[in-house]
Structure 1
């Protein structure tokens, strides 16, 4: 898993690995607010992964620029971008923050060289994560950004908690290939208003995320004994929610709440793809806070 990079602030602690710039741990006062895994293990179920230059899946690993490497053989898709298995370079490491970056050249089906960086920083609210993407090529580059945390509600039993999403739409997926089959539909009101996690079995994409009055998108998992907030800038207008049957080492249920700038298969649909010109930089931020 590469080098383990520890950052702390007061009683908050996070651990990031150089392999994939993966978030392995975030805790406050010894209480975990993300699921974790052993430092010598491969991140289970994409835990803590950085998803650039596309989150989620590209159907059939094909899009207008050619055929990508098939990285989800069982379904024939390209999944979760190009950087989550790369060894990232540490640019800066202070007591409370760490910044890593990786350069990606042209790849099969991906003719756009780019550089991406990520900064994990602890502040008074919790963990703040900032992504930068730089187009190092000569053509305008389309892309998306996502991340794959498994937030946990502190000391609360996740099954007793309520999940509330800021999304307004649901994107139906083919259950076999896990790629979109139709346009968006209204979200189940229970998820918009808050649904008990124990009732949910999801591997679904949701869009139309609405920010609060202060311009921040918020997704909540809360119970009587604690809770966790996944927040994001409005550019993260999508969220994938995944409730796996089990998560290795987890105490009870685990749930992934994955901020994304675009939906699954956006390289083909074009929905909410970001475009940056040669030499330009894009920046976006999200985070996790106890609540």
Structure 2
């Protein structure tokens, strides 16, 4: 059996994506054979959390501790070096296909009551490709008898074909940055990015940039007809890949990995519905009442070259 389990391939014309049974992760996305996502072999564990589904919370929970209905909770410390719980509870679950077509697959997993997590939730993720690219739809349903706070995120590493990461530029629809301490925990309120090194609202070179940083204030441009948040990685000729998301993804974590297998430098753009340690701060959590389901969408779209780009 492959480390990542069954592989779920979907296609529309020359647009192709592959998701995995273990973790429900997005392992591959390409158009015309050109990769727009850092990929990895089906026979290895996902490197650098590539493609992970981050539910029922994204990012970190300080010391794995939080409080639910007045009761202290202790999650497993899945980031032991920093003594945190990280990236939710679904990364190593087996996700079962509940609906498949040639160009889409919907996977489901049950997050049961366990140490540190007191309410069962059911998660599904639907990957669908069309002529424009990839759409990812998360749903989370409260299967318990008490209202539960949840957050959702994803961990893709967009890339522009075979262009080196350090030759690309990064654009973020983020107006604030969250200060963190040496343990990558929030260390104060958000600060405006304007006038700082963290202002990527206009594309900036990735070379020499090192980030493991949460950005907030992610919002659609006032003129956006689809009312979507839009981040992008861009090559020198203006071609690239856009990561779009619904406004519920008001946060994005950007991580520059230095050791992605076969690539070296790679950049993760992680759409999140809430910031790091939200189970403690409460910031932007979604509170699901029993039987209630919430859905969240994001996706990837290749961008053509721009005339006159440098």
* TM-score past 0.5 threshold: yes
What residue number does 1:232 align with?
A: 245
Does the alignment pair 1:154 with 2:161?
A: yes
DSSP-derived class of the 1:117 partner? strand
What residue number does 1:185 align with?
A: 191
Does the alignment pair 1:139 with 2:130?
A: no
Q: Deviations over 1:68-104 (max 9, x none)?
A: 1111111110000000110011111211000000111
Q: 1:154·1:290 contact (CA, 8 Å) conserved in 2? A: no
For structure 2, the residue ranges without an aligned partner over 5 or more in a row are 304-310
Which of 245, 251, 255 is the matching residue for 1:242? 255
Which of 253, 273, 277 is the matching residue for 2:289? 277
Does the alignment pair 1:73 with 2:80?
A: yes
Cα offset, 1:155, TM superposition: 3.8
Q: Deviations over 1:145-176 (max 9, x none)?
A: 0000000012433212210100000001112x
Q: 1:16·1:25 contact (CA, 8 Å) conserved in 2? A: yes
DSSP-derived class of the 1:45 partner? helix
Rounded Cα–Cα distance in structure 1 between residues aligned with 2:44 and 2:162 = 24
Rounded Cα–Cα distance in structure 2 between residues aligned with 1:106 and 1:205 = 29
Cα offset, 1:221, TM superposition: 1.0
Rounded Cα–Cα distance in structure 2 between residues aligned with 1:118 and 1:265 = 23
DSSP-derived class of the 1:255 partner? strand
Which of 232, 235, 252 is the matching residue for 1:223? 235
- Give TM-score, length-normalised by structure 1: 0.97
- Give TM-score, length-normalised by structure 2: 0.91
Q: 1:112·1:141 contact (CA, 8 Å) conserved in 2? A: yes
Cα offset, 1:190, TM superposition: 3.7
Q: 2:167·2:206 contact (CA, 8 Å) conserved in 1? A: yes
Q: 2:15·2:131 contact (CA, 8 Å) conserved in 1? A: no
How many residues align? The count is 289
What residue number does 2:211 align with?
A: 202
For structure 1, the residue ranges without an aligned partner over 5 or more in a row are none
Q: 2:175·2:199 contact (CA, 8 Å) conserved in 1? A: no
Rounded Cα–Cα distance in structure 2 between residues aligned with 1:125 and 1:217 = 17
Cα offset, 1:266, TM superposition: 0.3
